[in-house]
């Protein structure tokens, strides 16, 4: 039985990855600062550890016979509101996790394979309709925020350790991921969950919601099940450089909100207010991931149906978020 360590297993993507690996027959240890809030699938073992500390990284990695695979998803993370207000926390906490995990997992424990979750936030801002860029065109770099810079630094840290100590490091840059069982309130939620919550909180079948900015920014979204399949494919591929995971079709935030309103069967008026918007547009190649056989199974509408219904259930169960 293969053994996998999932760092950040208490979070949105990490908890779904645990389920995926368990279904594939792995023995899985999850590590995080907290237990998963929603997931029903349990890791075989779950350790509460702060991975900013070297001793805790060693505890996470210590297992009889060693881990076959390590998935590093732990990060101080949130949506645009969080990324803009917590840049020191991101630069400090996520960098410490990654510097220590690279050193301990690769140099000391010599794990055979390590996956690192990067982000398309490492790319520069793009104009709408601009020609797509490849993974390699990320350099010269000009990410829009510190979250992107930390990810870029971490990518290079893992790659440097891989070159020197021989671990097979695999890196994926995720598009905006959405789906059930993610953060939906509290300030760290991302646009799909935040918009779903606002629409679910509208009483009756019509109302108004706030949207940050003019709603014309364009984004690509990837459904959680498709993303997790992509992670597994990248981890088991021979591709040593970073790989984007996500479809190529983008949507404006205004159209995205209208899609959710349609799913909710509500008539929603959008009120544009000041707020952190992030980049104008992004257009990345997904040729590398599709060449590995990856194809999204969920359309945005199908994925958002699952997501909205789940968020609506949370709103009904737990009451208003504010």
**Least distance to ligand NAD, CB of residue 71, Å:** 10
How many residues are there in the chain? 322
**Least distance to ligand NAD, CB of residue 112, Å:** 21
Per CB under 6 A, the segment of 67-75, 80-88, 279-287, 289-297 that binds ligand NAD is 67-75
Interaction of residue 77 with ligand NAD, rule CB under 6 A = yes
Q: Which residues contact 74 (CB under 8 A, 6 or more apart)?
A: 7, 8, 11, 14, 31, 32, 51, 97, 101
Token pair for 100: 């220590």
Interaction of residue 30 with ligand NAD, rule CB under 6 A = no
Q: How many CB atoms lie within 10 A of CB 149?
A: 19
**Least distance to ligand NAD, CB of residue 194, Å:** 12
* Distance separating alpha carbons of residues 128 and 269, to the nearest angstrom: 25
**Measuring CA to CA, how many Å separate 294 from each of 165, 179, 233?**
29, 18, 8
**What are the two backbone dihedrals, phi and then psi, of residue 3, each rounded to the nearest 5 degrees?**
-110, 130
Annotated catalytic, 308?
no
Token pair for 304: 């958002």
Cα angle at 177 between 160 and 311, to 5 degrees? 145
Interaction of residue 50 with ligand NAD, rule CB under 6 A = yes
Interaction of residue 135 with ligand NAD, rule CB under 6 A = no
Interaction of residue 117 with ligand NAD, rule CB under 6 A = yes
**Least distance to ligand NAD, CB of residue 14, Å:** 5
* Distance separating alpha carbons of residues 284 and 277, to the nearest angstrom: 19
Q: Cβ-count burial of 280 within 10 angstroms (0-12 exposed, 13-18 middle, 19+ buried)?
A: middle
- Contact with ligand NAD (CB under 6 A): which of 4, 26, 43, 76? 76
Residue least distant from ligand NAD (Cβ):
11
* Distance separating alpha carbons of residues 268 and 126, to the nearest angstrom: 29
Residues in contact with ligand NAD, shown as a per-residue x/- string from 165 to 184 under the rule CB under 6 A = ---------x-xx-----x-
Q: How many CB atoms lie within 10 A of CB 145?
A: 16
Residues in contact with ligand NAD, shown as a per-residue x/- string from 248 to 287 under the rule CB under 6 A = ----------------------------------------
Interaction of residue 244 with ligand NAD, rule CB under 6 A = no
* Distance separating alpha carbons of residues 123 and 141, to the nearest angstrom: 7
* Annotated catalytic residue within 20, 26, 71, 147: 147
- Contact with ligand NAD (CB under 6 A): which of 19, 98, 100, 119? 119
Q: Cβ-count burial of 41 within 10 angstroms (0-12 exposed, 13-18 middle, 19+ buried)?
A: middle
Residue tagged 């520069």 (tokens)? 124
- Contact with ligand NAD (CB under 6 A): which of 5, 11, 200, 270? 11
Interaction of residue 83 with ligand NAD, rule CB under 6 A = no
Per CB under 6 A, the segment of 8-16, 106-114, 155-163, 312-320 that binds ligand NAD is 8-16
Interaction of residue 87 with ligand NAD, rule CB under 6 A = no
Residues near ligand NAD, by CB under 6 A: 8, 10-14, 32-34, 50-52, 73-77, 93, 97, 117, 119, 174, 176-177, 183, 190
Q: Provide the annotated active-site residues.
A: 147
């Amino acid at each position: 039985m293969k053994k996998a360590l999932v760092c950040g297993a208490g979070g949105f993507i990490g908890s779904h990855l645990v389920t995926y690996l368990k279904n594939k027959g792995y023995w899985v240890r999850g590590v995080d600062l907290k237990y998963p809030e929603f997931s029903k699938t349990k890791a075989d073992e779950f350790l509460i550890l702060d991975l900013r500390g070297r001793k805790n990284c060693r505890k996470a990695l210590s297992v009889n016979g060693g881990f076959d695979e390590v998935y590093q998803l732990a990060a101080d993370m949130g949506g645009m509101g969080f990324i803009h207000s917590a840049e020191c926390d991101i630069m400090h906490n996520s960098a410490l996790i990654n510097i220590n995990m690279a050193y301990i997992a690769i140099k000391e424990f010599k794990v055979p394979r390590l996956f690192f979750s990067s982000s398309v936030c490492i790319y520069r801002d793009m104009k709408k309709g601009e020609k797509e860029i490849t993974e390699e065109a990320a350099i010269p770099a000009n990410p829009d925020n510190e979250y992107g810079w930390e990810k870029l630094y971490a990518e290079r840290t893992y790659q440097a350790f891989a070159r020197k100590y021989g671990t097979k490091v695999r890196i994926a840059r995720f598009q905006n991921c959405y789906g059930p069982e993610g953060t939906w309130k509290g300030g760290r939620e991302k646009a799909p969950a935040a918009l779903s919550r606002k629409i679910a909180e509208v009483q009756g079948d019509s109302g108004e919601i706030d949207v940050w900015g003019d709603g014309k920014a364009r984004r690509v979204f990837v459904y959680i099940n498709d993303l997790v399949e992509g992670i597994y494919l990248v981890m088991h591929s021979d591709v040593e450089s970073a790989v984007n995971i996500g479809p190529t079709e983008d949507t404006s935030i205004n159209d995205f909100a209208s899609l959710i309103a349609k799913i909710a069967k509500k008539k929603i008026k959008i009120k544009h207010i000041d707020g952190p918007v992030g980049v104008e547009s992004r257009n990345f190649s997904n040729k590398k991931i599709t060449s590995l056989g990856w194809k999204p199974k969920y359309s945005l509408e199908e994925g958002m149906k699952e997501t909205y219904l789940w968020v609506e259930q949370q709103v009904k169960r737990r009451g208003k978020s504010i």
